[in-house]
Amino acid sequence: MEIERALEWLQSTPIAIMVAENDILFPWIESVHVLAIVLVVGTISIVDLRLLGVASLDISARRLMRDIIPYTWGAFAVAAITGSLMFSSDATHYAHNRLFQAKLVMLVLAGLNMAIFHFFGERDIERWEAPGATTSVAAKAAATISLLAWITVVSLGRGTGFTMH
């Protein structure tokens, strides 16, 4: 199959072989991955809790998103790069791991949720972004989905580590 061949090719690239064979490289990459994920989840939760109307109510929702989300994206980029490096080191096995597959699905879901909120949920942001104003139902829904999606991503990521031997 085409995908199988692509995975085997990926696994045989010099970078993938280096990650797979070097004893110290993998744990270092994994540590950076955990640090990045921790910051993705922590910073996105700050936004989600604001959208839910639970915390940071003294600051406008729009301002909070503008201030925090760049950090989320930065951390996500680091997580994606380190994740790809780990994936490449054993691509054929990761690709067949059910928990890893589920993790990718959840990441896509989290991304779609964010895009839908950005393009539709933020349309009437003027009506609910002010400090103290009650946030919209759409904003609360997006925040709830986001929190659940990221908690699931972390669970599946940890589960992948336990089922890759």
Partner 1 sequence: MTLNEICHWIDQTALSQWIQIAGWVVPTVQTIHILAIAVVASSALMIDLRLIGVFWANRPIEAVKARFLPLIWWPLLVLLGTGIIMITAEPARSLKNPAFQLKMLLLIAALIVTGLFQFLHRRNTAFGDVTGPRAAAVTLAIVSILLWSSIIFAGRWIAYFA
Considering only residues 17 through 76, tell me which ones interact with partner 1, judged by CB under 8 A. 27, 30-31, 34-35, 37-39, 41-43, 45-46, 55-56, 58-59, 67, 71
Amino acid identity, residue 154? Answer: V
The answer to whether 136 and 127 are in contact (CB under 8 A) is: yes
Which stretch, 85-93, 109-117, 127-135, 152-160, contacts partner 1 (CB under 8 A)?
152-160
The Cα-based distances of 105 to 23, 25, 120, 153 in angstroms read: 30, 27, 22, 9
Minimum CB distance to partner 1, residue 58 (Å): 7
Contact between 162 and partner 1 per CB under 8 A: yes
Q: Which of 111, 161 has the CB closer to partner 1?
A: 161
Question: Residue 65 and residue 6: Cα distance in Å, rounded?
Answer: 38
Work out the number of other CB atoms within 10 angstroms of the CB of residue 42: 14
Work out the number of other CB atoms within 10 angstroms of the CB of residue 133: 14
Minimum CB distance to partner 1, residue 134 (Å): 20
Both tokens of 28, joined, read: 């270092």
Contact footprint for partner 1 (CB under 8 A): 27, 30-31, 34-35, 37-39, 41-43, 45-46, 55-56, 58-59, 67, 71, 151, 154-155, 158-159, 161-162
